[in-house]
Structures are given as structure tokens and as C-alpha cells.
Amino acid sequence: MRTTATIFRGFVEFLILWITSALAILALDKILDGITLQSSDVGVTALATLPAAMILALVFGVLNTALWPIAVRLMSWGGPLLLFLMTFVTSGLILVLALYLVPVAEIDHPFSAFLMALPLSLISSLIGGAVASRSDTAYRLMLVRRQRFRLRREPRPADETPGLLCIQIDGLGHGVLRRAIADGVTPTLAKLVRESHTLIPWHTDWSSQTGATQLGILHGSNHNVPAFRWYDKSTGHTSVFSNPRDNELREEERAEIPGLLATDGASRGNLFTGGAADNVLVVSRMRGARLGGGAGYTSYFLDPSNALRTVLGMIAEIARELRQSAHQRRRDILPRVPRGGVYPFVRAFTTVLATDMTVSAVVRDMIQGRSIIYADLIGYDEVSHHSGISRPETLSVLTRVDETIRLLLAAAAQADRDYRVVVLSDHGQSQGATFRQRYGESLAQLTGRLCGHSVEQPRKKAESEGGLYAAASVNAAAESEPAQARTPVVLGSGNLGLISFPAVDGRADTDAIEDRYPGLLDALRTHPGIGFLLVARPDGSSVVLGADGSVDVASGVVTGVDPLQHFGDDALDKVRRTDGFDNVADVMVGGAYWPETDEVAAFEEQVGSHGGMGGPQSTPFLLYPADLPAPDDPVHGAQSVHRILAGWRDHPLPT
């Protein structure tokens, strides 16, 4: 039931928007030619056109409220970029209609009305966005109030069992979070740890990246996922987790396993649906017409103040990125990577647009009382790739993520259904100068030089995991091109490299590789930027090769110096599991890790990276309510996290 304070707050917001719109019309009437407001018989000359302005502003507001949702639903099928641009044009057309419906102005030409409509649309949306974004608390109350209004039109049966809200902070390692809590960077998460929740680390598979982790968590299996991108010899296809079609295929391969979100669940900002029928910003659903309305953009842009709030935030974020990247260059902060091109826009997409849409959808889910919600906040991961895992600009993004979680917790407290809130990450990140920066050539260039020719790359360059949601949104229908040449295919996922030889049928073993490319394996295993190689033997077994020793994968017997000694106690288990995949690369390259500095050398151009082993990239965190059953210690692998969350989803309230 709406309280008096809520009604009063809504009335005040309406008055502010109405009065400011009328004042804007008065100002534009003086500035622009072609439109003349009618004057009344008011004694004060300056106020003679005020009644006409008030009437026009009121009619514009009513039409905007009535027509905007219809217009957005029509535009949404064109995709987010078109929708983003058309929000302003549509408001302008609505004002043109208002000018013709109420005879309070003389119009020389319809184009003149449109000239007034554009700045008035901008001013009205700006004021609406400012009202909505004057504080996170006000914004949250606005979201909750509007979602409750919509819920009254679409009632849902009450449910006494608790719901489960899973908030993923993409790329945040357990160690970085602990330092952030101690330093006051994440006060919301700190309060949870100290008052109601338990914080533990968990350990990823060898492929420490979002694709492998979310596939395991949401669909219960990440078997045959060796990396973020991999080449399949049987099909000649390079799969990559930023390709919606590839992600859809991964889901279809696991159709027999019930998804974590299959029963009354919602997937928000993820790579996969988890079996949910309701999806927003989910890459596996960003294909064809589904890129628009089916991807969940419509409900967010139904409110024009949402559009302006997001637009202003994105502009501020782009300016912030330009200033911070200039600061890094000016201070010569190392390691660093170039941050120009489209990256400022990708950063704005991930830290502002994707976050705003995800938050809005999650608030709606909780007010509707969904049973389980899984949402991914991707901003920290994106900025870490380019700025570093704990540099000032990255930690400022983490603080904003923490504020977003505070907003969601407050919204959960206002939901009719009780919610248990779990916060987790999918992987961490490890920092360091890239392989190319250290040695003057990429892994692909090194391999090509050692093989005596250039190596094969997919015709369409696969995107890095950073910005993969933006890449999928812009080019959702694109398919990776199959490799046609018979030269080696070299791919990188963080400091994990994959080398495949299309000219060799089946999995190439050490003898086949040596016969075709003499000295290649020895040159790779002794390279200072490479920690170890996983390769098959002629007898069907496999071996891990290092510069000064080797490990038999099956038995674990070490000869010489153990090449896995600095990669964790579970390193051999991770290698052994990947070795059993059908699509394991001919040579799996584990990038070097320097424990004295906790650094890696990524095969991609990223300061903070993940995808392989070494350092904090393999140790994300799990923060869960203390009244839930404690998981086994330690937790290994994304599939284990799936079982844990499924158990918590079905766990009843204490009696």
C-alpha cells in the first residue's frame, strides 16, 4: 500500500518536471523563430505566455507517458544502438504532436516545431534523469515504486519460501576483495562479511574465465571448454564466448542437465541463460531479431529518464577514462596498454549501460518475487584488463559496484518475498606486462617464426573477454570464420595459449610435431615467457614439459624440476582434467608466472588478465549468508559452485 510520503514524493517529482518543462518552453519561445506562444491578458508582460507554456508542458507530459512505451516497443527490435539514438527523436515527435493538439501556439512550419522539440526533449529528459539520479536511494525508490505499479497489473501468487539472488562481480579475486574490505573500498561487502555473511575463496578450473565458469555454474558442466577461444579440428571452427551462436550451442550441448535458473529463474547480464526463460543482456540470446526486444532492452528504455540517466553516466565515464589514461601516460605508470580507439565507449557500456539495465531488471525480478536471479556486474573486470587489478581508477569502479550492491540489498528489503543474497566472482585477475611487451613478439609470431612461416588466425579476429558483451551487442549475428590453411592456429586466452596443427589428423603428439617442426617444442618449453606445455605422447599418454623438467600427467611422476611447482597444489589436477577434453589443443601453453612479483605475461594485450594459471586469477570468492550450509573446503571448479548454489536455492527457511 502506498504511503503518504510516497504519494507526496511522486507529486513533488511531477510538479518539478511540469514547471521546469514550462520554463524551458518559455525560454525556447524567446530564442527560436517560427513558433509563437499565445499571450493571455495577464498584467505582467513577462508572464503573458506562461499559461500557454504550462498547458503545452502538461499535454506533452501526458502524451509522453501514454505514447512512449508503445514507441519504445516498436523501436526495440532495431537493437540497442538504434534505440539509444531514437529515444531523443521520439520525444521530439511527441512534442510536435502536442503542438498540433493544443491551440496555444502559432507555428510557421512543422520543422520549426521540431527545432523546439529537440532541445525541449533534451531538457525534459535531463530534468527527469536528474530527479531519478539525484541519489541512489531516490533512484532505488523510484524503481521499486514503478515495479510495484506494474506488478499490480500483473499479479503473481505469493510464495513463502525464500528466493536466492546471486550477484556476480566479474573478475574480482578473493585477495583483492579482502584488501578492498580492509581499506574501506567496499563498505557494503565489508558490512556483510562482519555481520551476516561468510567469505571464502574457491578455485577455478585451468580455464579461469567467464565462459568456462558461467557454463559450469549456470548449466552444471563446462566439459570440453579448454579456453575462452579454441580451435576445433573436427569442424575447422574457432569457437569464442563472445559469439552468441557459439554460446547457444554450448547450452544445447547441456540440454539434458537442468539449468540453475530453469525453474522461475532470471538471467541478467550473463553469457548464458542457465535455463531461464526471462533474459536481459544475455549473450547466447543476442542473435537476429532477439538482439532487440528479445534481449531485454525494451523494459529499461520504457522510461525516458532511464535513457538520460544512462546517457549522462556514459558521457561522464568516457571523460573519466580519457583523463585517467592520460594520467597513466603522463606518469609513465607501468605496465600499461593502449586505451584508445573504441575502448572508452566499451568501458562506458560495461560500467554504466550494462549495470543500469541489469540493476533495473533485478529490482523488477525481486518485486515480482522470482525464485532465483543470477546477475553479472561486469564493470570491474573490464577496467582491470586495461588499468590494472587494484589501481586507483579500478578501485573506484569497484566502489561503484559496491554501491550498486547496496542499492540491490535495499531493494531486496522492500520486496514482499524474502531473499538470500549470495555475492561471488567467476575468477580473479593476475597482473603484469604482456608477452609482446616483454619479448617484442606475440605467441603467434613466435610460433610462426619457429615454424618457418606465418600462423593461421581466424579471419574475423576474436574479441578479448574484456568488452565481450558490447562486442556481442554490436555484432550479434557474426560467426567466427573457420581456419582454412594448413599452418598452425595459435590462440590466446590471458596467459593460456593454444596451438593447433590442422595438417595433422587427430591430436598431434610429440613425434608428429617434431617431425613437422623440428625444435619447436624445445624452443617453446625453454622460452622465459612460457611456464610449461601440455602435449600428447605417441603411446597415448600426455606430459607436461618445462624448461628443466617434466611431469607425467597420468602418474604425476616428476622428472627434473617440476614445471608446475609455482602454479598451485591443484595445478596437475586441472591439467589432467583439460587433457581429457575432446577438443584439447595439440599444444596447451601455460604462460610464465613469477611468484616473487605475483605477475604473469598475458598472450593478449591486457594489464590484468585471466584464462590460465598463476597468481590470483584462479582464486575468486564466494560470500554467502552464514545461516546457509557451509560448502566443502576447499571448493574446486565451477561445477562444484553449481551444486552449491542449487542446494542453497532449494534450502528451506529454518523452522
Spatial CA neighbour of 479 closest among 464, 459, 497: 459
CA–CA separation, 206 vs 212, rounded Å?
Answer: 9
pLDDT of res. 312? 79
Q: Which residues face 265 on adjacent strands? A: 372
* Closest by Cα among 356, 298, 304 to 72: 298
Q: Cell numbers at residue 445, please?
A: 609470431
Q: What are phi and psi of 559, to 5 degrees?
A: -115, 120
Q: How far apart are CA 172 and CA 193, in angstroms?
A: 16
Contact (CB, 8 A) for 230 and 585: yes
Q: Could you please state the CATH topology (level 3) that the domain comprising 165-221+241-429+620-627+635-649 is classified under.
A: Alkaline Phosphatase, subunit A (3.40.720)
Side-chain-facing half-sphere of 2: CA atoms under 13 Å: 17
State the DSSP code for 636.
Answer: B
β-bridge partners, 200: 622
From the number of C-beta atoms within 10 Å of its C-beta (0-12, 13-18, 19+), residue 146 rates as: middle
pLDDT at residue 292, rounded to an integer = 43
Please return the burial class of 482, using the count of CB atoms within 10 Å of its CB with bins 0-12, 13-18 and 19+. middle
The Cα–Cα gap between 299 and 212 comes to 30
Cell numbers describing residue 274 = 542457465
Helices of type H across 76-222: 80-101, 110-133, 136-153, 174-182, 187-195, 210-219
Q: What pTM value is reported for the model?
A: 0.81
pLDDT of residue 153: 46
For the chain, the straight-line distance linking the first and the last C-alpha, in angstroms and rounded, comes to: 29
> What region does 556 belong to: left with phi over 0, alpha with psi -120 to 50, or beta?
left
Looking at residue 396, its pLDDT comes to 97
- What does the pLDDT look like over 570-618, one tens digit per residue? 999 999 999 999 999 999 999 999 999 999 999 999 999 999 999 999 9
Q: For residue 549, what are the β-bridge partners?
A: 560
Which amino acid would we find at residue 276? A
What residues have CB less than 8 Å from 171, skipping those under 6 apart? 210, 378, 380, 381, 384, 385, 425, 426, 427, 428, 429, 608, 610
3-state secondary structure 12-80: HHHHHHHHHHHHHHHHHHHHCCCEEECCCCCCCHHHCCHHHHHHHHHHHHHHHHHHHHHHHHHHHHHCH
- Rounded-to-integer distance, Cα 575 and Cα 572, Å: 5
**What pLDDT score does 478 carry?**
38
CA distance 233 to 508: 11
**CA distances (Å), 302 to each of 70, 75, 349, 597, in order?**
8, 11, 19, 49
Q: How many CA atoms lie within 13 A of 287 on its CB side?
A: 14
- In terms of C-beta distances under 8 Å and separation of at least 24 residues, what long-range contacts does 263-267 make, across chains too? 263/371, 263/372, 264/370, 264/371, 264/372, 265/370, 265/371, 265/372, 265/373, 265/374, 266/361, 266/362, 266/365, 266/370, 266/372, 266/373, 266/374, 267/218, 267/374
Residue 476 confidence (pLDDT): 39
Rounded Cα–Cα distance for residues 120 and 501 (Å): 61
Which residues of the chain have a pLDDT value below 70? Answer: 1-10, 13, 41-46, 65, 68-89, 91-92, 109-114, 117-118, 121-122, 124-160, 287-299, 301-305, 308, 454-486, 653-655
What would the pLDDT profile of 131-171 be if each residue is shown by its tens digit? 555 445 445 555 555 555 555 545 555 566 899 999 999 99
Beta-strand ranges (E) seen in 403-460 are 419-424, 430-431
For CATH 3.40.720.10, the residue range(s) in the chain are 165-221+241-429+620-627+635-649
Q: Which amino acid is at 375?
A: A
User: In 3D, which of 650, 652, 655 has the Cα closest to residue 258?
Assistant: 650
Tell me how far apart the alpha carbons of residues 64 and 44 are, in angstroms, rounded to a whole number. Answer: 31
